[in-house]
Amino acid sequence: MSDELTSELRELAAEGETLPALSGAEIRGRAVRRRRRRRTTVAVAGVGAAAGLALALVLNLGGGTDQRPAPAASPTGTPSLPAVPDATVDLSRRVISVAGRELPLSSGSEWTPTGTGRMTVTAKESVKLMPGGVAGLKDDYSLKVPWVIELGASDGTANYIAALTYDEKAPGNYDSTTGWIGLRPTDAKWLYERLTPGSVIDVEGTAPTPTPTSRPVSTPPTATPGAGTGASGG
């Protein structure tokens, strides 16, 4: 392209030095040829520029071979942590800890120990007619127990926290139930009003081994004949 421009400039310079000895038709023909050469030069230059721009776009858009690998995807989400229990039962100390308070309790005896592990409140009843086997009576009897909180374990078993009305000295001192957790009536009512279905309770430890003089003899109140499953709920 530079050679053609140089040739034309030289031709124009030569024409300026001497008057052309050409006819009008020849002059017009020469002018037409010059315009065609200029158009060809401009077209070639335009095609070259377009090709260079296209190549640059391809390289910038990732068409080149020198590409960095995409960064590895970062893991999404975080493993769920165990729920913080709303209450913790310590059988070895005979207390249930909740909201900064420690409530004395009585758990199962050495023949009917209280199950341990993480449990969830599944239901509540202000008064429940407990079957005789759960209340410590004969199977054909039942006992009304207030402020009952029903607990469900992961293995499908159930247990209860309730007021130990017939032996209020037992909580904190000795274990006298058939496996459920007994509280003093005032403490049982307070806990009943605080916990809701879905609350998490951890039951830990082992009940202390009783001594011959550690557990006074207590007898449940008069029971109602006939099995029962429940009473008014709360």
pLDDT in tens, 72-119: 555 555 445 457 999 999 999 999 999 999 999 999 988 899 999 999
pLDDT in tens, 15-34: 665 555 556 666 667 766 77
- Run of H or E including 132: helix 132-135
Domains of the chain plus CATH, in order, are 2-56 (no CATH), 87-210+219-225 (2.40.440.10)
CB 135 within 8 A of CB 145: yes
CB 119 within 8 A of CB 153: yes
- Run of H or E including 26: helix 24-58
> Structure pTM?
0.58
Question: Distance between alpha carbon 49 and the CA centroid of its chain, in Å?
Answer: 57
